[in-house]
Amino acid sequence: MIQRHRSAVLLLFFYLSCLLLVSGQKPEHTITSFQNLPARLFIFDDTESVLYHDSIEGNVYVSLDEGKSWKQADGIPKGDAAMVIEHPFNNRYAFVLTAGSKHYRTADRGKTWQHFELPIPPAVVSRPLSFHSDPAKYGYILYQGTYCNKKGWDAICHDETYYTKEAFGDEPKRMLKDTSRCQFAHSSKDFKVDVPSELIFCVAFDTSSDSGTHSISSSRLFSSTDFFDKDRAVEDLGIGRDAKGVIAFAIVSKYAVVALKDLSRGNEGEMLLYVTLDAKTWAKAQFPHASSAKLKENAYTIMESTTWSLAVDVVLQERSNIGTLFMSNSNGTFFVESLKDTNRNEMGFVDYEKLYGVDGVGMANIVANAKDVEGRGQPKQLKTMITFDDGSNWAPIRAPSKDSEGRPFHCNPADVDECSLHFHSVTTPHNFGRIFSSPAPGFAMGVGSVGESLLPYEESDTFLSTDAGVTWTMIRQDAHKYEFGDKGSILVVINDEEGTDTVRYSLDLGKTWNKYELDVKLRARALITLPDSTSQKFILLGQVAKRHQSKDIGRVVIVYLDFSSTRPRKCGEDDFEKWYARPAKTECLMGHKQWYKRRKADANCYVGDKYRDPVEHEEDCPCTKEDYECDYNYIRNGAECVPVGPEPIPAGVCSPNDPVQTYQGSSGFRKIPGNTCKGGVELDKPVEKKCSQAQPQEGDIIHQTFEFKSLIVQHAYFKDSTTILVRLQDQTIWQSSNEGYTWRQPRPDEHFLAFYHHKYSSDRAYLITDSSQYYYTTDAGRTWNNLKAPTPPNTFGGQVLRFHPNSDYLIWTGNKDCEGSGGNCHAASYYSRDNGRNWNPVESYVRNCAWTKDKEIDADPNEILCESYRDKKGSQIHFTRSNPLQLVVGSNFFAKRSMMFDQVVGFAKFSEFLVVASSELGGHSLELQVSLDGHNFATGKFPANMHPETHAYTVLESSTNSLFLHMTMSEPPSPYWGNLLKSNSNGTYFGLSIENVNRDERGFVDFEKMIGLDGIAIINIVANAREAAVSGRKLLQTRITHNDGSTWKPLVPPPLDSQGKKYECTDTKCALHLHGYTERLDPRATYSSPSIVGLIMAVGNVGESLAPYTDSDTFLSRDGGFTWQEVHKDAHLWEFGDSGSVLVMANDEEPTDHVLFSTNEGLNWREYKFTNEKIRIRFIVTVPSDTSRRFILMGNHPRTRASVAVHVDFSALTSKQCVLSVEDPGHDDFELWSPSEEREELCLFGRQTLYHRRVRDSNCIVGTKTKAETRVVKKCECAKVDFECEFNHVKNSADECVLVPGTSPLPNDDSCRNDEEFWYERTPYRMIPYSSCEGGKRLDRGNEHRCPGFSGHSAFFWLFVLLVPFAFTALVGYYYYRRSGLARGTIRLPGDGRSPYANDSGILENLASVPWFIIGLAGIAWEWVISSIDRTGFRSRRGYRDLRVDEDAQILRFEDEE
Q: pLDDT-based confidence at 638, cuts 50/70/90?
A: confident
Report the phi/psi class of residue 1044: left, alpha or beta, with left for phi > 0 and alpha for psi in -120 to 50. left
Residue pair 1106/1038 in contact (Cβ under 8 Å)? The answer is yes
Q: Where are the alpha helices (DSSP H) in 965-1088?
A: 1025-1031
Among the listed residues 286, 287, 235, 234, the one whose alpha carbon sits nearest the alpha carbon of residue 256: 235
Residue 1363 has pLDDT above 70, yes or no: no
pLDDT at 315: 81
54-63, 315-324, 1443-1452: least confidently modelled range: 1443-1452
Q: Is 888 buried (19+), middle (13-18) or exposed (0-12) by CB count in 10 A?
A: buried
Residue 219 has pLDDT above 50, yes or no: yes
Q: pLDDT-based confidence at 1265, cuts 50/70/90?
A: low
Residue pair 287/335 in contact (Cβ under 8 Å)? The answer is yes
767-781, 968-982, 1269-1283: least confidently modelled range: 1269-1283
57-71, 103-117, 500-514, 617-631: least confidently modelled range: 617-631
Q: pLDDT-based confidence at 113, cuts 50/70/90?
A: very high
Per residue in 759-777, pLDDT (tens digit) is 888 889 999 999 999 999 9
State phi, psi for 894 to the nearest 5 degrees: 70, 10
Q: Is 1446 buried (19+), middle (13-18) or exposed (0-12) by CB count in 10 A?
A: buried
Q: Tell me the three state secondary structure of residue 891.
A: helix
β-sheet with 724-728: strand ranges across: 712-717, 724-728, 733-736
Residue 657 has pLDDT above 70, yes or no: no
Q: pLDDT-based confidence at 652, cuts 50/70/90?
A: low
Q: How far apart are CA 1093 and CA 1114, in angstroms?
A: 19
Per residue in 328-337, pLDDT (tens digit) is 877 777 777 7
Per residue in 32-49, pLDDT (tens digit) is 999 999 999 999 988 999
pLDDT at 983: 81
Residue 1395 has pLDDT above 50, yes or no: no
Whole-number percent of the chain with pLDDT over 70: 85
State the amino acid at position 329 in one-letter form.
Answer: N
Q: pLDDT-based confidence at 1365, cuts 50/70/90?
A: very low
Whole-number percent of the chain with pLDDT over 90: 40
460-474, 991-1005, 1123-1137, 1367-1381: least confidently modelled range: 1367-1381
Q: How far apart are CA 973 and CA 968, in angstroms?
A: 13
Q: How far apart are CA 896 and CA 886, in angstroms?
A: 16
Q: pLDDT-based confidence at 971, cuts 50/70/90?
A: confident
Q: What is the CA radius of gyration of the chain?
A: 36
Residue 1458 has pLDDT above 70, yes or no: no
Q: pLDDT-based confidence at 1315, cuts 50/70/90?
A: low
pLDDT at 779: 84
Segment 1401-1429 shows an average pLDDT of: 26
3-state SS, one letter per residue, for 359-393? CCCEEEEEECCHHHHHHHCCCCCEEEEEECCCCCC
Q: How far apart are CA 23 and CA 250, in angstroms?
A: 52
Per residue in 439-498, pLDDT (tens digit) is 788 889 999 999 999 999 999 999 999 988 889 999 999 999 999 999 889 999 999 999
Q: pLDDT-based confidence at 651, cuts 50/70/90?
A: low
Mention every residue, 6+ apart, whose C-beta is less than 8 A from residue 444. 355, 436, 437, 464, 465, 468, 469
Greatest mean pLDDT range, 10-19, 369-378, 769-778: 769-778
Q: Which residue has the higher pLDDT, 1404 or 334?
A: 334
Mention every residue, 6+ apart, whose C-beta is less than 8 A from residue 1261. 1138, 1141, 1189, 1214, 1215, 1216, 1217, 1218
Among the listed residues 1015, 955, 1005, 951, the one whose alpha carbon sits nearest the alpha carbon of residue 983: 955
Which helix or strand (DSSP H or E) is residue 20 part of?
helix 13-22
Among the listed residues 1149, 1150, 1142, the one whose alpha carbon sits nearest the alpha carbon of residue 1168: 1142
Tell me 929's DSSP state. Answer: E
pLDDT at 1362: 36
Among the listed residues 140, 118, 594, the one whose alpha carbon sits nearest the alpha carbon of residue 355: 594
State the amino acid at position 551 in one-letter form.
Answer: K
Residue 18 has pLDDT above 50, yes or no: no
Which helix or strand (DSSP H or E) is residue 1052 part of?
none
State phi, psi for 526 to the nearest 5 degrees: -165, 150
Residue 1435 has pLDDT above 50, yes or no: no
Residue pair 1265/1252 in contact (Cβ under 8 Å)? The answer is no
Paired sense of beta strands 154-164 and 173-177, if any? antiparallel
113-127, 242-256, 1126-1140: least confidently modelled range: 242-256
Does the CA dihedral 66-68-69-73 come out positive or negative? positive
pLDDT at 1011: 84
Tell me 1367's DSSP state. Answer: H
pLDDT at 1241: 62
Segment 944-956 shows an average pLDDT of: 71
Q: Where are the alpha helices (DSSP H) in 1322-1432?
A: 1355-1358, 1367-1380, 1401-1405, 1412-1415, 1417-1429
Query: What's the CA dihedral at 496, 498, 499, 503 to 10 degrees?
Result: -40
pLDDT at 788: 94
CA distances from 127 to 87, 260, 705, 1006, 1359 (A): 12, 21, 60, 62, 41
> How many residues belong to the chain?
1458
Q: Which residue has the higher pLDDT, 357 or 128?
A: 128
Q: How far apart are CA 844 and CA 866, in angstroms?
A: 10
Mean pLDDT (the chain, rounded): 82
Report the phi/psi class of residue 659: left, alpha or beta, with left for phi > 0 and alpha for psi in -120 to 50. alpha
Greatest mean pLDDT range, 291-300, 634-643, 650-659, 1159-1168: 1159-1168
Residue 1442 has pLDDT above 70, yes or no: no
DSSP 133-181: --GGGTT-EEEEEEEEEEETTEEEEEEEEEEESSTTSS--EEEEESEEE
C-alpha distance across the termini of the chain, in Å: 48
Residue pair 777/783 in contact (Cβ under 8 Å)? The answer is yes
Chain centre distance of CA 1007: 35
pLDDT at 8: 38
Q: Which residue has the higher pLDDT, 286 or 508?
A: 508
Report the phi/psi class of residue 103: left, alpha or beta, with left for phi > 0 and alpha for psi in -120 to 50. beta
Q: How far apart are CA 176 and CA 158, in angstroms?
A: 11
Paired sense of beta strands 592-599 and 576-580, if any? antiparallel
Q: pLDDT-based confidence at 1114, cuts 50/70/90?
A: very high
149-153, 369-373, 532-536, 603-607: least confidently modelled range: 149-153
Which helix or strand (DSSP H or E) is residue 1195 part of?
strand 1190-1196
Residue 810 has pLDDT above 90, yes or no: yes
Q: pLDDT-based confidence at 753, cuts 50/70/90?
A: very high
Q: pLDDT-based confidence at 613, cuts 50/70/90?
A: confident
Q: Which residue has the higher pLDDT, 674 or 80?
A: 80
Segment 1263-1274 shows an average pLDDT of: 65
Q: pLDDT-based confidence at 1022, cuts 50/70/90?
A: very high
Assess whether the previous peptide bond of 1396 is cis (omega < 30° from 0). no
Q: Which residue has the higher pLDDT, 885 or 23?
A: 885
Return the number of other C-beta atoms located less than 10 Å from residue 684's C-beta: 16
pLDDT at 869: 94
Segment 741-747 shows an average pLDDT of: 92
Residue 1040 has pLDDT above 90, yes or no: yes
Per residue in 664-681, pLDDT (tens digit) is 888 888 887 678 899 999
Residue 792 has pLDDT above 90, yes or no: yes
Q: How far apart are CA 1381 and CA 159, in angstroms?
A: 7
